[in-house]
Amino acid sequence: MILITGGAGYIGSHVVKEIAQAGYDVIILDNFSTGNRAAVDALHTLLKAIPGSGRIELAVGDCGDETLLDSICQQHHIEAVVHLAAFSEVGESMQDAAKYFTNNTAQTIYLLNSMKRNRVNHLVFSSTAAVYGQPLQTPITEDHPLRPTNVYGMSKMMIEFMLPRYRANYGLNYVSLRYFNAAGADNSALIGEKHRQESHLIPLVILRAMNKKSQFTVFGDDYDTPDGTCLRDYIHVSDLAQAHLLALQALLKGNITERVYNLGNGRPHSVREVIAAVEAISGRQLEYDIGPRRPGDPSILLASSQRAMDELGWQPQYPQLQDIVASAWKWHQSENW
């Protein structure tokens, strides 16, 4: 059985689907702090329709609750942990550092210690492009220096620094996945991106096009980029999920013992291009405000994911921005939770 923390969240629910449909039994551990119980219900429906899927169970609680973790490990044969549970609002992390260091760093240490006690030796860890900070070169490769400019990135980087010690001292095999901008939704449109406080560009623009949000702001149109707005690397959430399955299988087969991978599309898209893609699919011309740059926002964030392609055999299936936006649009149109 595979333990997936944060499996009721946006990316986590897609990872649960991918891993369960490959036949693994999954136990989701989530405290619903930012996730949705309805995502777990939707996963049951979705997986029931896919022959050969593994079972999914739900444990409600904290990913750092050692008593709960020990009991999960004792009741189930946990082969590996996929650890996605975390807070991920960059702006909030700069206002409330303790919240991020506690949830993302301290809670993860308790999880790692429980894994050690219960001899669970395989971990797929959700890291982030935020560990890099302002890029020194583009596209960013995994050996780029880690110089995060926000607390969120620091809270993840600290775990990345610890993992080699858990490997050396206790034999933990791990893969750390540094995602760039996750976007889109499962093609069933039964699961998708739903944050209580939406801060991500694609859902914000879609919600505006659906009249569910008021005017939005583009932060800076004077960057040194072709249209003046920031360039980002959007990766379809189902492609991210696929990489988790490949990483998990490589760990379980013993092909990998410790490795870090970037996960991005390698294609930069500007804020204005995202808005244009939503305008095209919604058939609406959108008005928006231009605000000042946000401190610390690099003009371009672009991944090299060559290592994941070469070593894991990963290949994004939905690299086109139009397809990513279309899947998000379909989810928002049919969203029933």
Residues that bind ligand NAD in the complex, under the rule CB under 6 A: 5-6, 8-12, 29-35, 62-64, 84-86, 88, 103, 107, 126, 128, 179, 181-182
What does the alpha-carbon distance between residue 145 and residue 244 come to, in Å, rounded to a whole number?
A: 24
Query: Which structure tokens are listed for 196?
Result: 């209580």
Which residue lies nearer to ligand NAD by CB, 33 or 187?
33
118 phi, psi to nearest 5 deg: -100, 10
Do residues 300 and 231 make contact, with C-beta atoms less than 8 angstroms apart?
A: yes
Catalytic residue among 100, 152, 223, 234: 152
233's torsion region: left (phi>0), alpha (psi -120 to 50) or beta?
beta
Question: Shortest distance, CB of residue 238 to ligand NAD, whole angstroms?
Answer: 13
Question: Shortest distance, CB of residue 164 to ligand NAD, whole angstroms?
Answer: 19
Instruction: List C-alpha distances in Å: 215 to 219, 289, 306.
Output: 13, 7, 38
Question: Shortest distance, CB of residue 10 to ligand NAD, whole angstroms?
Answer: 3
The three-point CA angle 35-37-43 to 5° equals 100
The reply to whether 152 belongs to the active site is: yes
Question: Shortest distance, CB of residue 150 to ligand NAD, whole angstroms?
Answer: 12
Q: Where are the alpha helices (DSSP H) in 179-266?
A: 201-209, 237-253
Do residues 129 and 144 make contact, with C-beta atoms less than 8 angstroms apart?
A: no
Which residue lies nearer to ligand NAD by CB, 9 or 298?
9
Return the percent helix, strand and coil in the chain, to nearest 5: 40, 20, 40
157 phi, psi to nearest 5 deg: -60, -40
What does the alpha-carbon distance between residue 190 and residue 88 come to, in Å, rounded to a whole number?
A: 23
Question: How far, rounded to the nearest angstrom, does the alpha carbon of residue 156 sit from its chain's CA centroid?
Answer: 12
Which residue lies nearer to ligand NAD by CB, 228 or 323?
323
Question: Shortest distance, CB of residue 287 to ligand NAD, whole angstroms?
Answer: 26
Which residue lies nearer to ligand NAD by CB, 113 or 228?
113
Question: Shortest distance, CB of residue 306 to ligand NAD, whole angstroms?
Answer: 19
Catalytic positions, written as ranges: 152
